[in-house]
Amino acid sequence: MTNDEAGAGGAPSAEAGAGRAVGGGPGAGGAPGAGTGMPLIPIIPTATKPLNEGSGDTFYEQVGGRATFERLVRAFYAGVASDPVLVAMYPEDDLEGAIQRLTGFLEQYWGGPTTYSQERGHPRLRMRHNPFKVNPDARDRWLSHMHSAVLSLDLPPLQEATLWDYLERAAHAMVNTFDE
Ligand code: HEM
């Protein structure tokens, strides 16, 4: 497994532990929910529909579906818009597109519709972040806006912790330079 796949691929294989941490999704591969209290979900390929979609069992459905992820991402981008370092990295003429891409990725990761991969292909998040300078400063700014956004959802404590734990680990995996 390459570093890129490990950081962002989420290939649902026996070695997908690191991949699942970022890209694969608990609804899409590996034994999910260890220590999170989440229900067990069968191991299935990333691009197929989660077997339990519609059953109310996915984290995606438990937290309120697409509307919740869109609220999260819109709150996050409101923070990004106020951040001089981050705002320079994002496409100012396509912020709505960026909102839709991140929302689509997150809803897919958590067991919702797989529209993201149908439109964008395999997430390969580390590779997609290569054009950007994701150093510890950018990561911490990203995380600070994302933390405010997560808190704004006012989720039950376990769901809030589950979501935040993933985002924090994913952001650490996305760092691609230590240049200032
Ligand atoms: C650690 C700091 C991070 C920075 C500075 C950063 C920055 C960026 C930027 C500038 C873009 C381009 C916006 C666009 O046109 O879509 C982007 C895209 C994206 N980011 Fe991040 N990101 C970070 C972490 C993350 C994390 C932790 C995730 C996932 C949990 C993530 C998921 C995505 C996704 C799904 C896209 C769109 C990919 C595509 O389909 O093109 N990012 N990010």
Q: How far is the C-alpha of 157 from the C-alpha of 146, rounded, in Å? A: 16
Fold of 49-174: Globin-like (1.10.490)
SS3 6: helix
The structure tokens listed for 10 are 């989420």
CB atoms within 10 A of CB 180: 7
Ligand 1 pocket residues where CB is under 6 Å = 89-91, 98, 101-102, 105, 120, 125, 128-129, 132, 134, 138-139, 142, 167, 170-171, 174
Higher local confidence (pLDDT), 83 or 20 = 83
Comparing CA positions, the residue from 39, 43, 80, 75 lying closest to residue 60 is 39
Task: Tell whether the model's pLDDT for residue 59 goes beyond 90.
Answer: yes
Residue type, 119: E
Task: Tell whether the model's pLDDT for residue 19 goes beyond 70.
Answer: no
Known binding residue 172? Answer is yes
Q: How far is the C-alpha of 117 from the C-alpha of 27, rounded, in Å? A: 14
Q: How far is the C-alpha of 169 from the C-alpha of 10, rounded, in Å? A: 14
What is the per-residue pLDDT for 26? Answer: 77
Task: Tell whether the model's pLDDT for residue 142 goes beyond 80.
Answer: yes
CB atoms within 10 A of CB 136: 12
Q: Report the pLDDT averaged over residues 88-115.
A: 96
Higher local confidence (pLDDT), 128 or 7 = 128
Residue nearest to atom 27 of ligand 1 (CA): 171
| Predicted model pTM | 0.81
Q: Which of 102, 126, 164, 179 to mutate to test the pocket of ligand 1 (most atoms within 8 A of CB)?
A: 102
Axis crossing angle, helix 136-152 with helix 66-81, rounded to the nearest 10: 130
Ligand 1: which atom is nearest the Cα of residue 102? 35
Ligand 1: which atom is nearest the Cα of residue 109? 30
Lowest mean pLDDT among 1-10, 144-153, 155-164: 1-10
What is the per-residue pLDDT for 92? Answer: 87
Return the domain boundaries, the chain. 49-174
pLDDT band at 5 (very low <50, low <70, confident <90, very high): very low
Q: Report the pLDDT averaged over residues 8-27.
A: 48
Half-sphere exposure of 61 (CA within 13 A, CB side): 13
Q: Which of 38-47, 50-59, 165-174 has the highest mean pLDDT?
A: 165-174
Comparing CA positions, the residue from 99, 108, 110 lying closest to residue 165 is 110
Question: Model confidence over 67-82: pLDDT tens digits?
Answer: 999 999 999 999 999 9
Residue type, 71: R
